[in-house]
Amino acid sequence: MFAHALAGDLSRAGLGTYRVVTCEEEVRLARILFATSLTPPHGADLPERFARIRNTILAWQQQSDFPAMAKSCSALASARALTQSPSQASASAIPKWVLEEFSNCLLIDEELLTEGKGLHVLGFERLALQNCPPLLRHVIRDGLLEQSRELGLRAALRSLRNVPPPTADEDLPPTTVRVYCENTDDLYLLATRAYGDVPTGELGLGGRALLISLCLERNAKRVGEEVELPNASALGLRYRRRSGELTDRVLAQEIRVKSVLGRS
C-alpha cells in the first residue's frame, strides 16, 4: 500500500492521501515524503525546502473504511529551523507563497520531525506533537464545501479595511464579516487575517494586536458557531494621524517610542 501511495504522491508533488495504521508507519511515511519536497516557484529563494505531509486517518478503530468517516490532518515541515529561537517562531518567517500553498497545515521543524520525536498518531482524530511546537494550526479543509467557504472568506476579508489610505479624508465605513469558526485557534487565525492591514508594532506603533484582542473578547462565547469579524470602525475605533500627536510624530520618525508599560 505504501509503495503505491508514494508513487501517487510523487506524481502529484507531495499531495497524496494516506491511510495511517500505526505510529511506526506514520513516522516512516514522514521520512519518505521528505524526498518529495516542493520546489519554490520562480523568483522564490531556491535554498528553501518545504515538504507537505498529508495524512488521512480513517476510523479504523471503528472498523470503518467509508471515506466520509475519514478525518484529515496535514503537516508542513520546514528546513528553516523555525523554532530554533523564539524570534524566529513566527509565521512571518515563512515566505508568503508557502503560507498560501500550505494554508491548512501544521507547521513544524523538519529537523525535529526527522529525529522521530515529532509526529505521532495517538488514535482516531488525535495527533501528538512532542518537542515540536507547531506555528500554524489548522484542520485541513479540502472538500468542495470547505474550498468554497475559503474562497468566500478570502473575498469577504478583502472588503474588510481597517486603515484608510493616506489621502482619505473620511473614516472607513463600519464593516463586519460573519463566518463559521470551529475553535479559539481558528478564531485567532481568522482575526489575524482580518486585521492584516494594521501595523504590528514596528517603531513602537501597533494596532493589530488591539483589534485581535477586541475581536477575541467579542466572540468569546460564539466559538463553535458563526463569529463576527468587525473592522476597526465597527469596533468603534478611528484611525487618526493628526499633526503633533504621538502617532504622527512616530510615523514621521521625529519621536521614538522607547518603551510602553501598562499597569493597574
Q: Which is nearer to another protein, 67 or 86 (CB)?
A: 86
Which positions from 189 through 218 interact with another protein, judged by CB under 8 A?
199, 201, 204-207, 209-210, 212-214, 216-218
Nearer to another protein, 45 or 169 (CB): 169
- State the Cα–Cα distance between residues 223 and 215, nearest whole angstrom: 12
Task: From residue 80, give the alpha-carbon distance in Å to each of 91, 116, 248.
Answer: 12, 18, 37
**Nearest to another protein of 34, 239 (CB atom):** 239
Within 107-146, the residues that bind another protein by CB under 8 A are none
Residues in the interface with another protein (CB under 8 A) total 46
The three grid cell numbers given for residue 181, joined into one nine-digit string: 469558526
Query: Least distance from C-beta 98 to another protein, angstroms?
Result: 23
Residues 6+ apart with CB under 8 A from 151: none
Nearest to 18 by CA among 51, 52, 57: 57
Closer to another protein by CB, 105 or 215: give it.
215
Decide: is 263 part of the binding site for another protein (CB under 8 A).
Answer: yes
Q: What is the CA radius of gyration of the chain?
A: 22
Whether residue 119 contacts residue 107, with contact meaning beta carbons closer than 8 Å, is answered with: no
Pairing of strands 106-109, 71-78: parallel
Binding mask 221-260 for another protein (x = CB under 8 A): -----------xx-xxxxxxxx-xxxx-xxx-xxxxxxxx
Question: Which of helix, strand or coil describes residue 74?
Answer: strand
Residues 148-167 that bind another protein (CB under 8 A): 163
Binding residue for another protein, selected from 1, 3, 46, 261, defined by CB under 8 A? 261
Nearest to 189 by CA among 218, 211, 162, 212: 212
CB of 166 to another protein, least distance (A): 12
Enumerate binding residues for another protein (CB under 8 A): 163, 188, 199, 201, 204-207, 209-210, 212-214, 216-218, 220, 232-233, 235-242, 244-247, 249-251, 253-264
